[in-house]
Chain A
């Protein structure tokens, strides 16, 4: 099966998912991102790599935070940026995703950053666009959020450079999480030997161990001696129902408290893709504590997205 993200020469053409990408490509993105971390600290926060290019953020699903970080990344690369929030009503009027994309192609966009509530939407668009256009998946349903996965491993690499010697735990709603899937692929591709997922059976996908992770239902056992704790967001609508009885019980069993964190390695770092539900999946004392690297994650997110955009723009067939 051809990987739809790669050119015939094996270069990154679209970023749709971490799955199937070679370690060399991930390392290239992370190394490139290192060079962009400094840009933000300069007085002139711009480099001309995407000058004259048009980046189009198409968000079929609302997200101010992710869209903003992509917008900042594109602008720091000197690209022109168009933001399009396609509300659900124009979709329900019968305009298909591809109709929307065709309209933007007609406006000569060079790169699409796409978010959609359905798994596979970015793949669909990538199959459809002309060869010179690049597609970045900014989150598709439960499937993938590759730039988040990349910025997470970038953050880990900064704090824990020896990736081949780490124990990482991903905690919470893995079933509905595109972030978790991208994190798992990024970690296993980069050679992290032990990736654990921790959660109740209702929030873990069937056969998740086939993704190369170890499954824990007991948070205390799962956190034992880990170097990195990656928390996941629990959506409000999933807190009371057939998946979980209540937010309170969830916090009791799977919320990250200082007491549970103490079971991890003393120098363990705590991560969260945001936005956080304090008191549901994470205690404020942990979120704001010394081991938290949640805010650096946001900062690095821009550098990683700059790296992805600049690499894609340089790879044309």
Chain B
């Protein structure tokens, strides 16, 4: 299948391209940018896409998307969520290991990779469990899991209170050069908490999670990273002070990366309003000062990437008093429009904004994706940056319809998504 995408504005952050260029695709790969390669002078496209007024960029790379398989198929299935990925222009995604059973055995990882490959809607890169059953006691077979397809090791949202186990897990991962993905949160300080420990929690009578839950855990992780030499990626930072610690650690020479969730880029504790369970998220939405610091960190490069933190939850699980509702929000289809919204509000350039959801996260995952070099896999997203669409039940492909942005009109409509030269989404 040969495809010709014409008249689109190509933005390829990694290659520093932002210009109207035609793209030519054959045999699943990009074969020409701006023109047909000399040895293909007789290129006859079987499909031509007119991308006039559209932006053509590398397919999005999402660092955290829960697909809920295996184990939670009533919340979402691999197929429903990979369709959501395609609809959101996401062509590669990392999924955390907190499924049921937990991704702690090579067979499970192979099965997931296999099922995803059959669906052929997006590339799935599992993060293996850092400890067996995510119980924080015994290490997993990291080498075997890596051979099965894991790109790193994570503890999901499960607590890892035993610092000796954490240190050993980091030492072991460092032995083989594996990346450890950790969301910094002190289990004791976060216990039972459902909202930022501040004004809103005080008003609504909700149990709080103080900012120190993040900074104390960060202190532990950063110290152990220095000591063990483990390559660490910090997931979903939420506080100003936490970000400052990362900034300082880096200035002292520590190699460490971090991401933030797209919800935290826009929302604060005040969005909880009168107990809106859609704003029940982990980590909790924090203060405006924290939100502004995250935006600043993104602008100055302290934050490497934005992830969707896609967590589909069924409607019933949100129809409960705030603390009893299940945390999480659907996000795969909102990653692009909410990143564009940030770029517009913060005055960031489109190439810079798109880098945070394409080339940067691809680099963190160590995968060959997130760029459109000639010869690269034809994973693309073609979107209309001006077209608004309303976030509502019927406009979302994900089985989870839960998001704080329900009812909002957002700019940035994905027209086509291509994975390996196949059109997996068209609207």
Contacts and interface: CB of A to CB of B under 8 A. Distances in A.
A and B from one complex: yes
A4 interface: yes
A305 interface: no
Q: On chain A, which size bracket covers the interface?
A: 20 to 34
A144 B202 contact: no
A211 B203 contact: yes
Interface string B288-317: 000000000000000000000000000010
- Specify which of B319, B320, B321 lies most central, judged by the most chain A CB atoms within 10 Å of its CB: B321
B205 A181 contact: yes
Contact of A181 (B199, B203, B273, B320): B203
B322 interface: yes
B274 A141 contact: no
B321 A118 contact: yes
A124 B198 CA distance: 22
B319 A96 contact: yes
Given A1-B273, A1-B274, A119-B275, A205 B320 contact: no
Given A119-B275, A120-B322, A206 B204 contact: no
A120 B323 contact: yes
Contact of B321 (A1, A119, A211): A119
- Specify which of B197, B275, B316 lies most central, judged by the most chain A CB atoms within 10 Å of its CB: B275
B322 A207 contact: no
Interface in B371-389: none
A129 to B, nearest CB: 13
A246 to B, nearest CB: 22
B324 interface: yes
Contacts of B322: 118-120
Interface in A150-207: 178, 181, 205-207
Given A96-B316, A123-B275, A144 B201 contact: no
A124 B273 CA distance: 13
Contacts of B203: 19, 181, 210-211
Contacts of A120: 204, 206, 274-275, 321-323
B208 interface: yes
B8 interface: no
B136 interface: no
Contact of B202 (A4, A16, A140, A207): A207
B210 interface: yes
A206 B320 CA distance: 25
Given A19-B203, A120-B206, A211-B202, 6 more contacts: A97-B321, A118-B324, A119-B322, A140-B205, A143-B205, A207-B198
Interface of A: 1, 4, 16, 19, 96-98, 116, 118-121, 123-124, 128, 140-144, 178, 181, 205-208, 210-211
30 contacts: A96-B316, A96-B319, A97-B320, A118-B322, A119-B205, A119-B206, A119-B322, A119-B323, A120-B206, A120-B274, A120-B321, A123-B274, A124-B275, A124-B319, A124-B320, A140-B205, A141-B206, A141-B323, A143-B205, A205-B201, A205-B202, A205-B208, A206-B197, A206-B201, A206-B202, A206-B208, A208-B202, A210-B199, A211-B199, A211-B203
